[in-house]
Amino acid sequence: MVFDANDLPTIGITMGDAAGIGPEIVLRSLEQREAVGKYNALIIGDGSHLRSVASQFGVSHILERDDVAVDDLGNLTEPIEIGTDNAVSGRASAEYIERAVRLWQDGRIDAIATAPISKKAIALGGYDFPGHTEFLAKLTNTERFAMSFFAGELRVILLSTHLPLTKAIELVKRNRLVDLIEFSSEQLSRLLKRSPKIAVAGLNPHASEGGLFRNGRGR
């Protein structure tokens, strides 16, 4: 886990679920030219499985780069069937996240990136959380948080997560919206160093068009 002395930040990248696409996505992303020379990558996962996947896709050279290292937890204790949810890979993927948070808290990495996990496999492995966001919040004792997606100049922040649509609709309340808007404004202002422009998506078509398409969020 020791990189040659440089001023590059170190990003801890969790391997994701070994039975899914996580390991391949990690390796493929590090293969991209824009990833070279921008940061040190510490892959947190199972070294043996990573090497196997790298060999399968002809990208073993990635694991030999000076700016890539593997924090090998060696926690895949049984053979993994690709494409099948199982307790072993689910528990292992949660342990990668836990390890990444500890490394960040200790100041050994500068940021965390996570590869895909399976929520069903996580549950089979004995963990009770709906997704990365909630798990990271628990591990860092963060009480106020929101799931968000960034793409260029667009940032999408969600009012609710991992719920059936009927339940999500029930949670669309004025006080919850105002709280999220204020929180989003605070955090985006810190990130962007300027006041963000915030728009709220309408629930019904055309945000109900003044009640024409049912009342709903028109109120």
What average pLDDT does the segment 136-165 reach? 93
Domain boundary among 90, 117, 143: 143
What average pLDDT does the segment 144-158 reach? 93
Residue closest to 104 by CA, chosen among 131, 68, 65, 71: 71
> By percentage, how much of the chain surpasses pLDDT 90?
76
CA end-to-end span of the chain, whole Å?
A: 55
26-40, 109-123, 190-204: least confidently modelled range: 26-40
Q: How many domains does the chain have?
A: 2
**Distance set, CA 65 to CA 33, 68, 115 (Å):** 13, 5, 20
Q: If pLDDT is split at 50, 70 and 90, which confidence band does 1 have?
A: low
Q: For 69-93, write each residue's pLDDT tens digit.
A: 999 999 998 888 999 999 999 999 9
What is the reported pTM?
0.87
Residue with tokens 């549950």: 123
The tokens for 133 are 């966001």
Reported as half-sphere exposure (CB side, CA atoms, 13 A), residue 94 has a value of 23
How high does pLDDT run on average in the chain? 90
Domain boundary among 109, 143, 177: 143
What average pLDDT does the segment 173-196 reach? 94
Q: If pLDDT is split at 50, 70 and 90, which confidence band does 212 have?
A: low
Residues 110 and 27 in one domain: yes
Residues 153 and 93 in one domain: no
Domain boundary among 96, 126, 143: 143
Residues 139 and 179 in one domain: no
Domain that holds residue 182: 146-219
Residues 170 and 97 in one domain: no
- Does the pLDDT value for residue 205 go beyond 90? no
Q: For 34-65, write each residue's pLDDT tens digit.
A: 767 889 999 999 999 999 999 999 999 999 99
∠ CA 39-55-98, nearest 5°, is 50
- Does the pLDDT value for residue 217 go beyond 70? no
